[in-house]
Structure 1
Amino acid sequence: MSELPENDQPMPLVSHLTELRTRLLRCVIAVFLVFAGLFSFAQQIYTIVSAPLRQYLPPGATMIATDVASPFLTPFKLTMIVSLFVAIPIILYQIWGFIAPGLYKHEKRIAVPLLVSSIFLFYAGMAFAYFLVFPLMFKFFAAATPEGVSMMTDIASYLDFIMTLFFAFGVAFEIPVAVVLLVWIGVVDVKYLRKARPYVVIGCFAVGMVLTPPDIFSQTLLAVPMWLLFEVGVLCGGLIRRRSDAEQAQGDDDKPPVPRM
């Protein structure tokens, strides 16, 4: 007999919708509380986020605000986005609390590490972009500025630019989780992924070209980690697949023999 979910009790649709509304409300409250705590530091947050660019501005050059309300609205927008990123563990916990009652025990043993690793990898992707990609990229842009052109970036344009990269690197670092999930549920096989490795490398550079600015430098900085993370996902997927097969074989051995007629 297959093991059943721990809370294997049918619930009416209204109860599901009520619980979903409650958990969504908790997510909104969590983001609002984080925002309320960070709002007074909005200017300092923007100063920290803009540091990778400001350190490579020419002497005497500064960032500019071309819109009247940008000095207030841009840090305000950044604080809201930072609040959302900070509240991601709480949001994912609420999602987990909603779907966990319908999962089997062996599914929870896999889902919990995937959930924790997805949070860690998303933050790792943003940290990789901020501490490694941004300094190298802005140094390259500053060196490539034509003679007679002053590099003075608008604060709103800079925010839109880095938020795109933060999101791109955060999502790209989720590749191991996606690969493990696909292998675990049986959509793809590890052998197939290994055979498709050349196409994956090409796909990583194509994705890097779409998600990053139009320069080969930042494209490579995104594509290479994506490929390495794909290899990590294939390795972990193979380990989980072998473990699942071993548990299934052990379960088959534990079944009583079928009596012959």
Structure 2
Amino acid sequence: MRILEVVGLTKRFAGLTALDAVSFTAEEGQILGLFGPNGAGKTTCFHCLSGFARPDAGRVIFDGREITGQTPDRLARAGLARTFQIVKPFRDLTAAENVIVALGHRHYGGFTALVGSWRGSGTRRRALELLERVGLTAEADRKAGLLTLGMLKRLEVARALALEPRLILLDEPLGGLSHEEMSATADLIADLRAQGLTVILVEHQMRIAMSLVDRVVVLDHGALIASGPPERVRADPRVIEAYLGEDAVARSH
């Protein structure tokens, strides 16, 4: 079943077209890879999907409802969550407290999430369940500022899961991680799909990313250049050229 439809999404910045009439779909319970070289428009696309930027044209339809231009808070309540390439937790709060704040945003929103009854036993229990889900049970009472980058990336996922999403946008969850951390995070992403979540993945660690995704969308200079199963997209001459240049295309024939 189709959970997301993007139609003609366009975004310009001071005359520069960052997204040029991009269209694609995401199916429920699958992992969709949103790939492309640096500057392709992937993060801008995520910003438009998650309400951090308003597209200049096009439509975004989530679960049968148009959500184009809605705020991040409204989208989160509708079931769409995202993580960020650069993680920014509350460094002086523990891992559990960071998740509790996210739970507060889900149920109360805004400032109330920070000042409400967010230390209740039921809320903490739910936070611990989410930390267990991402493999951070042992770090629950450690301050976020003391966690490794790999742990922080998983904490970011736990905070997103606190919003009870149906669709989660993961922005470079493997970036900057050790091989061991990448393997653990890849297992976590696969688990999200197994639990019925839909994932859209932006990632530059292509070997691991291609092994995770069900379908791929590739952008280059703001335009969609390929889409389909990973095996077919990997061999597409336009994709090879976007990543490696024209010479690589010639060598592949």
Tell me whether the two structures share a fold, i.e. TM-score over 0.5. Answer: no
Q: Which of 1 and 2 has greater Rg?
A: 1
Q: Which has the higher contact order (CA 8 A, sep 6+)?
A: 2
Normalising by structure 1, we get a TM-score of: 0.25
Report the structure, 1 or 2, having the larger strand content.
2
Report the structure, 1 or 2, having the larger helix content.
1
